[in-house]
Structure 1
Amino acid sequence: MWLANHGPAPSSVDLVRIESGQTPVMPLGNTRVPEGSPPFIAGELEVLWFEEGDGAALYRNGELLAVIPGWADLERGMPGYARDAAGESPFAWPLADALEGLAPRIAKARSYWEWRHGDGAWPSFQQFVMSHLDAKAGPAGRYWDVGGDRLPTVGITERPQEGYTLLSTVGMSCQRMPTVEQYIDRPDTFARIELAVATRGEAAEAARLFLWLARYPWTSVTWLGHGHTARWYRESASFPLGPGYQGVLMLDTVPGLPDLSGFGFSGDEVRWLWLVPVTEPELRLIAEQGHEAVPLTGRLP
């Protein structure tokens, strides 16, 4: 995305420059600073990421220069918003025209990261989730910290049940998933999730599902929701819930398993998605007919 010209603006788009792979120069009719601006200095710049991780705001010495929101898409002619842009062009749209909608999002992003990096933020959030699960699924067993130094921080809690073990992530819902608002009218009810699985097998083996999926929304810039599927990335023999399966179906309600709903964070509802193992033919059936086509009886591995 274009930010500024560093010399006089040309009268028209320099196609030769673009075709050679160089950064575009904004033509005269689409820049508020036709004479150009001095080159930016790295130490003067600050990037503020949106909570979802799919958009960012760029500041120079505290002044907002540009915003690339999650819905920016160069191929669709929506490159993002720049302070020095005038009128819509393939390189940038004017920031001033979008500030009414963007300003609250930017303020919320700054507030979120100030809280998230503050002392005690993660331990307090972790305790809120654990207390909720205490009430919904009984006392905790083992706990695994799988977060490392990357965000969102994620743990796995084990909750022994009668005849099986319930496992849940702890921490995914601390950060909104990317792109939800591009598909859902009410992102506040779908943007925060935790994952859960029930198993009669070895809990530590089943927990490998979370190592696979707990950060998937942010690393792949996507979201997970009710009715979604995920295909195991290796051969079926290595699938954590048994060699007969090739992936999972995600459901917010599974008959016979605890209702984990009722938790919220930052004004948003948190949904628990159960990971239900499915075979290769079932993955194809779901793709063709929807998740309702797959029976759920006998699905507790």
Structure 2
Amino acid sequence: MGFLKKKSSSKETEIQEAEVLIEQQSPTCPITAIVEQDNRTIYFYLWGAEGSNFGVKSSWVRNLKKAPQQLETALMEQGVPPMQTEEFCIHPNGSEKLNKDNLSIIWLEEGDGAALLSNGEVISIIASWAGQNGFNGYSKEAKGQGDFAWELSDDNALYDRVHASKEFWDAWDLEQSPFNILQPKILDTYDEIFGEQDNYFAIDGNEWPPKGLYLKKGESKTVFATVGLSLIPMPVVEMYTENRFDANRIEFGFLINSPITDEAVQQIGGWMSAQTTIPWHNITFLGEGHTIEFMSLNSSKLNFVLLTSQLNILPEPNIEKYRNSITNFLWMVPISEKERQHIIDNGSETIIEKLNEIGEEVFSLDRAEVI
């Protein structure tokens, strides 16, 4: 999975085929963590699924031999994983090999970053923002800001995140899991805002993480709302926002004019269920002003939805913070392809303003386009 291994032309040593010491799948994203060791160096990799935008992130862990003084550019051109140069090594003469039996991985809660541990000690971390601006990851063996890894100092804030992530993953083995705790709180909020639920569906397909769908069939409007998306923070948010706690958790809502048939309820519920996997399966995030494809229902021309909490006529469920994060409740408002293109070209502000002007017409799939 790592660099293509080739024999070095060096007279001093032959580069051996790398051994995979540990390989583990992210609990939430199509990303695989791999640690490889040859006779010269050790690297920690995060491999995104083929076709994803994640790519491959690689971070040097340690040298096993005396560090070179200059970058091993010739070896890099051959696809050989380079040693960190002497300037950026705490142990310039090299360190001992790692024992695979002593290694473990802790994934960050988003599932897009991970820490490598040896005998329970964090020795390397690849964060979600690795691969940008000369940063590849952190290593306990690194000194300063090396070409292949930066120093993992004792005051690095990621230590706290790693420890909190372990606590979170361990909590799923408790009798009162995070979902058991969060689900009734969210349902109480929905019952208070929308009215007591008429039905509740599990939409996780008996797979982890658990998720549900609240349904309230009113005389004039029917409300759908997801339950449990906010348990897992979305990946890559912190690459685009200043404070990840403001944008990394979501729940979805959908509101439509009543009456609707049981068949339509099933169709909408199934469609919403499918959308709940988008951030993690695609290693991305969803937020205010984003658009996604909508199902074909009643031959409506409204075949996309706008995700927003900015429409005046829509209720605003106030879901309490979870693990220090705000939970953003995003309404899925049906829009046309023409309206979506306007949003892509100009942002969502104008469309939201015009949707506010038509009031309750936004709940109808037969409404006229606003542009």
TM-score (norm 2): 0.73
Residues 110-259 of structure 1 mapped to structure 2, 5 A cutoff: 110-121=166-177, 122-148=179-205, 150-200=207-257, 201=260, 202-231=264-293, 238-239=295-296, 242-259=299-316
| Structure-2 separation of matches of 1:147 and 1:35 | 52
Tell me the residue number matched to 1:101: 157
Tell me the residue number matched to 1:60: 118
| Structure-2 separation of matches of 1:140 and 1:239 | 26
| Structure-2 separation of matches of 1:186 and 1:14 | 38
TM-score (norm 1): 0.88
Contact 2:189 2:318 in 1 (8 A): no
Contact 2:288 2:330 in 1 (8 A): yes
- 1:268 deviates by 2.5
Tell me the residue number matched to 1:235: none
Tell me the residue number matched to 2:27: none
Cα RMSD of the aligned pairs, angstroms, is 2.2
Tell me the residue number matched to 2:104: 46
The DSSP-based 3-state class of the residue aligned with 2:62 is coil
- 1:231 deviates by 3.8
Tell me the residue number matched to 1:85: 142
| Structure-1 separation of matches of 2:165 and 2:184 | 23
| Structure-2 separation of matches of 1:25 and 1:186 | 35
Q: 1:87 to 1:149 in 2, by over 3 A?
A: farther
Structure 2 letter corresponding to 1:117: D
- 1:151 deviates by 4.5
Uncovered stretches (5+) of structure 1, i.e. residues with no partner: 233-237
Q: 1:248 to 1:7 in 2, by over 3 A?
A: same
| Structure-2 separation of matches of 1:92 and 1:241 | 55
Structure 1 letter corresponding to 2:282: S
Uncovered stretches (5+) of structure 2, i.e. residues with no partner: 1-58, 366-371
Q: 1:289 to 1:148 in 2, by over 3 A?
A: same
Structure 2 letter corresponding to 1:187: R
- 1:130 deviates by 1.2
- 1:150 deviates by 4.8
Structure 2 letter corresponding to 1:299: V
Contact 1:156 1:170 in 2 (8 A): yes
| Structure-2 separation of matches of 1:4 and 1:198 | 54
Describe the superposition over 1:95-130 as per-residue Cα deviations: whole angstroms up to 9, x where unpaired.
117x33222222222222222332221222212211
Structure 2 letter corresponding to 1:204: Q
The DSSP-based 3-state class of the residue aligned with 1:275 is strand
- 1:262 deviates by 4.1
Q: 1:4 to 1:186 in 2, by over 3 A?
A: closer
Contact 1:208 1:240 in 2 (8 A): no
The DSSP-based 3-state class of the residue aligned with 1:10 is coil
Report which of the two structures shows the higher radius of gyration computed on alpha carbons. Answer: 2
| Structure-1 separation of matches of 2:324 and 2:101 | 35
- 1:189 deviates by 2.9
Structure 1 letter corresponding to 2:362: R
| Structure-2 separation of matches of 1:126 and 1:108 | 21
